[in-house]
A and B are shown apart, each in its own frame.
Chain A
Amino acid sequence: MVKLLIIDDEAPIRKLLKKFLRMNDFEVVTAENGKEGLYIYKQEQPDLVITDLIMPDKEGLETIRELKQMNPSAKIIAISGGGISSPTAYLDLAQKMGAAATFEKPLDNEALLSMVKKLIDLSG
């Protein structure tokens, strides 16, 4: 079974993504910040990471960068609710850091699902 890692500081969001993705036959592990996320990534070795960008204690962008350092072929999707500047600004940066795709919250879960499947299928 394909394993996904969700990194987001909001509990309801972790919960909803866990439920939704499990409903679609994925194994899901979660972390509530970047530091924890990197740790769990090493332990669980998920096939894909979905991470929020604005988080306390290791920002999403830095997390993406470090994930890529750890594993250059890591598959990452970045999501964001916006910040001081526009959400799109952050998301552009995320792509530059190495995220394969970006989504704005509140996001369309079906679209996220398609993207996850697409990225996983690419690796075979």
Chain B
Amino acid sequence: MEYDTTNKQVADYALAFDMIGNITRSSNKEEVRERIFEFCTILFGPEKILFVTFESGRAQTAYTQSGETEDINCDQWTEKKLTPFGVNASRDGFHVTITCRGTVFGILSLWQIAFPQYLEKYLNLTISVMDVWGMAFENAEKYQEIKQTKGRLLQEKDKLATTLRSIGDGVITTDLAGNVQLVNKVAEKMTGWVAQDALGMPLRNILKLEKKGGIDVLPPCGRSDFNIRHHDNTRLVSKTDRRYDVSVITSPLKDEKNLVSGFVVVVRDITEEKRRENQMAKMQRLSALGRLTGGVAHDFNNALYPIISFTEMSIQELPEDHSVKENLYEVLNAAKRARDVVKQLLSFSEGKKTKIKAVELSIVVTEALRLLKSTLPPNIDLVENISGEPVFVSADSAQIHEIVMNLCINACQGIGQDRGKLEVGVEKAVITETVEYFGLSLAPGSYGQVIVADTGIGMTEDIISNIFDPYFTTKNLAEGSGLGLSVAHGIIKRFNGALDVESEKGKGSIFKMFIPLSSGEF
């Protein structure tokens, strides 16, 4: 009998340990409960098992071994939790309170075990494993929590990724040292860097900004008293040398202790915005220019009138062959030219049409150059390639004058402070087959040609392709409105001519203006 009892005990414990192994692998509390039921059923063969679950210290639900629930008096059971174990009145069952680290998970009760004479042994066995059951419950709970958290995290991660993808701005995050940790799609596009390659690199390698005086997007290392920093009017230079006008906002990222743990940099492409702003400004300047022109024209006309009149009268009052007469004729011509320019200025601001007639290019260009020479800086050499041969074209002389002046001024600005050469020439050109220059095509035939060549800084392909767009300019506001070339282009179009540009960065530019020869004469 003793031998059997000992063997049975050994067998029971062996079974118990085996079950313990399984139970701690359970991933939810229901499973733990089921294994406990299994354990009890096999080892103790009770008629009834009840497991009362607890939540926040209060009895909740009572489960039987068949999985069904039973109605119980929650208050009674809640009180019962205070006793870790106990034997029932009829001494054929017991209960144990299963806890782990102070949390009560439930009370297990058994009635009418198969061998009541072993009640104490069974109770001891149960007591020795109930801590493991408690741990199993806790683990299962934790596992579920972690699973949920993981799920929520994944959801959040997804949401964030979608949000970042949908944000129209570039977003880059860095750690406290300024090394890149995240680059969203838009930032990838703007900087020219693929996120993978950018990770871990210092921000200034990825985000190259141009601004007078330099840019400090991130605060010097170690500063944690940093507030949001805003940079407007800067230019981003991408890996492929593309330029964007951007505005940059840097904000600190704070951890749960409210200490700065990194930075998030938002880069917004404001190129379009700026373009519209510039256009607006230019339109306003244009209308102001129109108003100014009106006012200036008034004063000009009031000054020109006496000049013309007194010169005319002087010519009349001088004897026939007087040497001064020739000088006075020059004055008169120039004054009349000035009068025409003012008229043309006014008509431009009013939108009136100008007349096309036979114009001798050499004369118009020579006069334009004469005006230019008076304002030409000493570092620029002017070379005139104007043959004596007359070149008659169908155009408006004042407008040709304006275009030539415009091209020459551009050339001078291209040369800047360095030593340079400006060459202006007038010649005839024959076009043998239809050719197109910047949207204007030239039919085969004879043309008058004005060539303006400079040894200035030249232009890149990018700039050349935009050069006749209204308001496109590489100059700052004080130097030019960007209207000149687009107006010239429009004017040449009206003359059925064309404008060609050849340029090489660092070498200089050549502008060629083609106008059809006129058949008429003066």
A83 contacts B313, C-beta separation under 8 Å: no
Contact yes or no, A86 B350, CB < 8 A: yes
Whether B306 is near chain A, meaning CB under 8 Å from some CB there, is yes
Partner of B309, one of A86, A87, A104, A106: A106
Residue of A with least CB distance to B307: A106
Answer whether residue A20 sits at the interface, using C-beta atoms and an 8 A cutoff. Answer: yes
Within 404-447 of B, Cβ neighbours of A (below 8 Å) are at none
> Is A36 at the interface (CB under 8 A from chain B)?
no
CB-defined contacts of A10 to chain B, threshold 8 Å:
302, 306
The size of the chain A interface, using a CB distance under 8 A, is 21
| B interface, size bucket | 20 to 34
Complex Cα distance, B85 from A104, in Å, reads 119
A107–B297 Cα distance when bound, in Å, is 14
The residue from B304, B312, B350 contacting A109, defined by CB atoms under 8 A apart:
B312
Q: Verify A54–B298 contact, CB threshold 8 A.
A: yes
Q: Interface code B338-360, partner A: CB below 8 Å = 1, 0 otherwise?
A: 01000000100010000000000
CB-based contact A82/B309 at 8 Å: no
B303 to chain A, nearest CB (A): 8
Count of A-B residue pairs with CB < 8 Å? 61
In the complex, which residues 64-107 of chain A have their Cβ closer than 8 Å to any Cβ of chain B? 81-87, 104-107
A90's nearest neighbour on chain B, judged by CB, is B298
What residues of A have a CB within 8 angstroms of the CB of B295 in the complex? 83-84
Q: Is A15 on the interface with B (CB-CB < 8 A)?
A: yes
Task: Give which listed residue, A15, A23, A106, contacts B301 with CB less than 8 A.
Answer: A106
Task: Tell me the complex Cα distance, A81–B302, Å.
Answer: 6
* A19 neighbours in B (Cβ, 8 Å): 313
Q: Please report which residues of chain B, range 285-331, place their CB below 8 angstroms from some CB of chain A when the two chains form the complex.
A: 291, 294-295, 297-302, 304-310, 312-313
Q: Are B305 and A81 in contact (CB under 8 A)?
A: yes
Q: What residues of chain B lie closer than 8 Å to A54, measured between beta carbons?
A: 298
> Which B residues touch A12, using CB under 8 A?
305-306, 310
Write out the residue numbers on chain A whose beta carbons fall within 8 Å of the beta carbon of B300: 81
In addition to A20-B309, A104-B301, 13 A-B residue pairs with Cβ atoms within 8 Å of each other are: A13-B302, A13-B306, A16-B305, A16-B306, A81-B298, A81-B305, A82-B298, A87-B298, A87-B301, A105-B302, A106-B301, A106-B305, A106-B335
9 A-B pairs with CB atoms under 8 Å apart are A16-B309, A20-B309, A81-B297, A81-B301, A86-B350, A105-B305, A106-B301, A106-B309, A106-B335
Query: Chain A residues in contact with chain B, CB under 8 A?
Result: 10, 12-13, 15-16, 19-20, 23, 54, 81-87, 104-107, 109
Instruction: Please give the residue numbers on chain B whose beta carbons come within 8 Å of chain A beta carbons, in ascending order.
Output: 291, 294-295, 297-302, 304-310, 312-313, 335, 339, 346, 350
